[in-house]
Homo-oligomer: A and B are copies of this chain.
Amino acid sequence: MNVKILGTGRYLPKTLLHSHELEARFGFEPGSIMRLNGVETRHVANQRAGETTSQMCTWAAQEALANADLAGEDLDLIIFASAGQEQALPDTAPFVQAKLGLGDSGITCFSVNSSCLSFLTALDIVSSFIQCGRYQQILIVCAEISYASLNPNDKKLYTLFGDAAAAAVVGVTPDCESSKIHRAHFSTFGEAAHMAEILGGGTRQHPNCPNIRFEDNTFRMDGRKLLRYSLLKASTIFEQIWPGLSTGATDIDWVIPHQPSRQGMLALARYFPVEKTIRTLQHYGNCVSVSLPLSLDQAIRSKQLQRGDRVLLFGTGAGLTLGGMVLTY
């Protein structure tokens, strides 16, 4: 598919929370959070100061549009691709459209959700849309605000996540340029759906249920079981993404993974050299659906990723889905 990432952007909330602050607050041993989760700092959204899901998306989108040298009016589709919507109805994409000053533009909006892989799913959809000529210039926005969904009694999970937004503008590759989405593959295993979940917040346990418990609205994960399950499937799925990938990434310049946890990053290092891998976990934490586009933006921002480089985007997401995409940036 002759599809090009025209520009990316991000928004990091102003409040930076160091792990040593969390360690002091909870009476943990200094350095223990970094050893446990690999996270030193994370940003935390202050919604009262305007750092809402749709507003953070908007700031990230403005940066992505500027980097793509495009105006909002040049877009014909806006996709919000994240696990957490701003409100139950409608989905978040129209709110981003309105905050971009495009509320009467008619630009098509919808949302996509495959938890941590939402950005990759959106990019896969966009790739087919562009190939078919259905849409030409598309904005994908992701934002997550996780803290309200975390249980302070669960030390491991409470100290793992960070808030952020990221965006990408995607379009047709101009003639004579090499940008291309080569392949994408996603495998979902619903039998593992309950290994990482928030039980409440939907029709199963509506927020107005009288007997709903605090814990039902917070994230729980059996990390060890999830990692073991993922590792059993990984080699087969790497081969489906890109033949030869399970035995090395010799024809891949950069590996940009979701940043699930210290253990997840260590597992990935069995497959791919650390010097080829973009890592944002230490500074931003696990940002759910934002980790992938944020790490992509980081690779571009740091000038590590250059036009013509071949990139593997890969991740696991609650569902459980393992999936990835190989593209030439």
Q: Please give me the residue from chain B that is nearest to A221 by CB atom.
A: B89
Contacts of A104 in B (CB 8 A): 189, 191
Instruction: Tell me, in angstroms, the Cα distance from A203 to B192 when the chains sit together.
Output: 25
Is residue A35 within 8 Å, beta carbon to beta carbon, of the partner chain? Answer: no
Is residue A303 within 8 Å, beta carbon to beta carbon, of the partner chain? Answer: no
- Interface locus among A106-114, A169-177, A266-274: A106-114
Is residue A318 within 8 Å, beta carbon to beta carbon, of the partner chain? Answer: yes
Is residue A186 within 8 Å, beta carbon to beta carbon, of the partner chain? Answer: yes
Is residue A17 within 8 Å, beta carbon to beta carbon, of the partner chain? Answer: no
Contacts of A125 in B (CB 8 A): 125, 128-129
Q: Please give me the residue from chain B that is nearest to A207 by CB atom.
A: B207
In the complex, per-residue mask of A84-125: 1 if CB is within 8 Å of any chain B CB, else 0 = 111111111111111100111111111111110110010011
Contacts of A132 in B (CB 8 A): 1, 127-128, 131-132
Is residue A317 within 8 Å, beta carbon to beta carbon, of the partner chain? Answer: yes
Taking a contact as CB atoms under 8 Å apart, the answer to whether B317 and A90 are in contact is: yes
Oligomeric state, in copies: 2
Instruction: Tell me, in angstroms, the Cα distance from A223 to B70 when the chains sit together.
Output: 36
Is residue A134 within 8 Å, beta carbon to beta carbon, of the partner chain? Answer: yes
Contacts of A108 in B (CB 8 A): 186-188, 321, 323
Is residue A198 within 8 Å, beta carbon to beta carbon, of the partner chain? Answer: yes
Instruction: Tell me, in angstroms, the Cα distance from A95 to B209 when the chains sit together.
Output: 22
Is residue A205 within 8 Å, beta carbon to beta carbon, of the partner chain? Answer: yes
A87, A205, A317 — which one has the most chain B CB atoms within 10 A of its CB? Answer: A87
Supposing A111-B113, A112-B110, A190-B95 touch, asked if A198 and B128 sit within 8 A by C-beta, the answer is no
- Interface locus among A59-67, A153-161, A211-219, A257-265: A211-219
